[in-house]
Amino acid sequence: MAYQNILVPVDGSETAYAAVEKAIEFAKAFGSKVTVVQVLALDPYIAAEYISANQTNDLIERARTAIVDSLAAAKAKFHEQGLEVETKLIEGQVIHREIVNAAKETHADLIVIGSHGRTGLKKLFLGSVAQSLLSESNIPVLIVRQ
């Protein structure tokens, strides 16, 4: 099976960069178009003015800057391998749903995501974006552990 459009969600972690490396392998093997995304999670209580009145605050702007830097770092890893990628900063409240929406918008036929491999109480309290993607995505999800 050839993958034409690969979506790679990142979060700036080493685990995300392991997913980037795997996506590079797939993109080279299949000549795939790659889109790297990161979600700016907006808590409705903290970001109420931002969401409703388009007013920003320092916390949101610092997060946005960090995400732009993270996306640039991921893009650089692809460029080092001679691959062009598109990057997108996505805003939303539920990270895995925003990733699923991005996969639909980009016509992705594969999502490559890193997983921290949390189990037990850590998984219960911190959640798992990768696990949620597995249950809600209609396309294949490749989970990469560091």
Contact call for residues 22 and 141 (beta carbons, < 8 A): no
- Phi first, then psi, for residue 123 (nearest 5°) are -65, -40
Domain boundaries of the chain, sorted by first residue: 5-145
pTM as predicted = 0.87
What homologous superfamily does CATH list for 5-145?
HUPs (3.40.50.620)
pLDDT tens, residue by residue, 39-79: 998 876 665 555 555 666 777 788 899 999 999 999 999 99
Spatial separation of the C-alpha atoms in residues 92 and 79, rounded to whole Å: 28
pLDDT of residue 123: 47
Contact call for residues 111 and 133 (beta carbons, < 8 A): yes
| CA pseudo-torsion sign 23, 28, 31, 33 | positive
